[in-house]
A and B are shown apart, each in its own frame.
Chain A
């Protein structure tokens, strides 16, 4: 193969990466705006993920669309880790930052090749831990990680910056204003949200994301080489793949092929099929066209050994067991309920933790910014699972987007009519804070907003001693628990500035009640 061809392959690869990264962000952005019928399609990348197929098999019932994941699974046996090199959008971001890193002076501190085994151990830890009560793969799965980071941090952050930059410009009467005004109008229509979206742990999730990207400046494709559980799975398969890069007689043993190799190996020095991302940089780099692309059954001795040692595998299994067991012996497991509410349609908590992959797609789809990644509200094992924080956003009565977008059906598919009936909790009035009780004057903002037909919050005229000590007629608010669906708009609009005097609790939530 000559260098010309090598350049072509490299360009094709970059083109494919750009295409898929655009597709990914298009789907993500659309999932926040598009018609509801579009939402199931926005899970495209999730359905191509064999780890999610595994999650689905473990938690059942099988969703047939996840069988799509078998396509990249089997193609890997032919083409090696092409998915990592050509398709994965998170991989593409890693590649981009790696490229940025290649332009600066390389650090001399090198990780040994052994570090490439980290990801296999991590995969074992996560898989073992996920065999029990909670599903852990979503923490590190590249699609979960990228979707979550983008919806919670990247997109709202860019929204903030764009909003402020363009707004300031568009308001001024200067030439800059005239230029930025159409740009602002365009972004307002297609990109920006009217209200800035806010998230729990936006900074933490954002910093992890930025950190993972910056690590590429230190080691090429850091996440893909050392952490990615999906990469590890593909690595195990790619070891036996038909694709390989043999050297021909032109090779002068110069070692240039390692110059841009993602795992610091290359066809000459350390050819590891399990680590090769089929980026084909080496074809481009080789000045002598000494590298061939061949497909064929690997001969014995051709499969290089980069398997973790047995005792490390045992240690990883042990870690997995600990990760599985420790959260299950917390006192919270004995409580009758829990101090948080989940989105409508969320399956019973026990099953929810097995199904939810913490991807945050629901958070992106939620138009009112109600769905938030849990910090520790749902326990350590519930980190980044979706909960509703009504003070930040209420569950819109006319919306059922989250029930349509959840790729693993941790939030079950509901129709709009079903969702309107689905009780996610009950509003409880704090009478020592509510103006109509504590201070004795009219308010009723919660009653106004209550969307339930016939109102779950009602008014009754009562004679009270108000805060001036005078006897007055006041319209006191009260909740009818059987009508309340727990949407939380009452908590959202309560005008008290310290803390809302009405709040939705998981009391009577439908998902834990088999008779509901």
Chain B
């Protein structure tokens, strides 16, 4: 049955009215998103704990008896000082917090770029995570399953089962320079859950990153920017390329944490292809001013 002209006009007005409504209430939109907390300080361990406390505490995120996966960047056979992998002190703070919140089990793993054993060892992450009581796992190619991300660019791709079989997922990247993506932070860090020929995803990298981050639940994002690799990333190696920033950023909103980290690095979020792609997918705000943000030094 054809639609009556009157109904069409009425619906049209109602619909466009509904669309304009949010823009009439800018203040409410700003405060409705989860908070992004940026904390600066001497100890990577302390600032991590503080940042999590600032966004409401781990108890809000982790439930009793949860199995939690913490996914740092362990991609490279590099030391803490070379700032290519997540700071183990940051990881220690998170593991402790997650256990205190009542988690049953904490696992730490990443699909590395260099040889896994080397990366796990030299980064100091394996030793630290084990000491803190987490189970350190290696990516085992026998445990790959095809997972459908249902993105515009990224569809089915092999993922290590371990990442899918947990209750909560905590994303702990290190902020650093990246040749093709510009920067690598939390969204790009998710490449570490993937197997297969990941190099292929570098074509239309921004779109793939946005599809991946938009279709995988991150319960907490904590960006390690204690030491920041400013040039020659993501592998780095030269100490002169590393700057001491003594900062971490925490949020439950991956894109907003990402934007804050880009700003911290000193780049314009609008220049980042993957943020543009995420913005066009309505994953969040791309302008820092529209993000509920709190910065403090301890």
Contacts and interface: CB of A to CB of B under 8 A. Distances in A.
Interface of A: 163-164, 167, 188, 193-195, 367-368, 396-399, 435, 441-445, 447-451, 453-455, 459, 475, 493-495, 497
B238 interface: yes
A367 B203 contact: no
Given A447-B179, A453-B237, A475-B180, A167 B142 contact: yes
B85 to A, nearest CB: 13
Contacts of B204: 441-442
B238 A396 contact: no
Contact of B77 (A163, A398, A442, A497): A398
Contacts, number: 80
A285 B49 CA distance: 75
Sorting the interface of chain B by its residue count into under 10, 10 to 19, 20 to 34 or 35 or more gives 20 to 34
Given A442-B180, A444-B179, A453-B238, A396 B77 contact: yes
A443 B202 CA distance: 5
A443 B138 contact: no
SS class, residues of chain B in contact with chain A: loop
12 contacts: A194-B138, A367-B117, A368-B115, A396-B115, A399-B118, A441-B203, A441-B204, A451-B235, A455-B179, A455-B232, A459-B180, A495-B202
Contact of A453 (B116, B232, B233): B232
Interface in B198-220: 198-200, 202-205
B199 A398 contact: no
Given A441-B204, A451-B237, A459-B180, A167 B118 contact: no
B178 interface: yes
A99 to B, nearest CB: 37
B140 interface: yes
Contacts of A451: 235, 237
B192 interface: no
B235 A448 contact: yes
B104 interface: no
Contact of B118 (A367, A449, A495): A367
B114 A396 contact: yes
A493 B122 contact: no
Contacts of B198: 495
B113 interface: yes
Contacts of B138: 188, 194
A441 B205 CA distance: 10
A252 to B, nearest CB: 63
A195 B115 contact: yes
A163 B142 CA distance: 10
A442 B235 contact: no
B197 interface: yes
Nearest to B238: A453
B116 A195 contact: yes
A376 B200 CA distance: 32
Nearest to A435: B203
A435 B197 CA distance: 15
B234 interface: yes
A449 B77 CA distance: 11
10 closest residue pairs by CB, A with B: A495-B199, A444-B180, A445-B199, A453-B238, A447-B179, A194-B138, A194-B116, A495-B200, A443-B202, A441-B203
B140 A449 contact: no
A448 B179 contact: yes
A397 B180 contact: no
B122 A194 contact: no
A427 to B, nearest CB: 15
B180 A367 contact: no
B183 to A, nearest CB: 12
Contacts of B116: 194-195
A459 B233 CA distance: 13
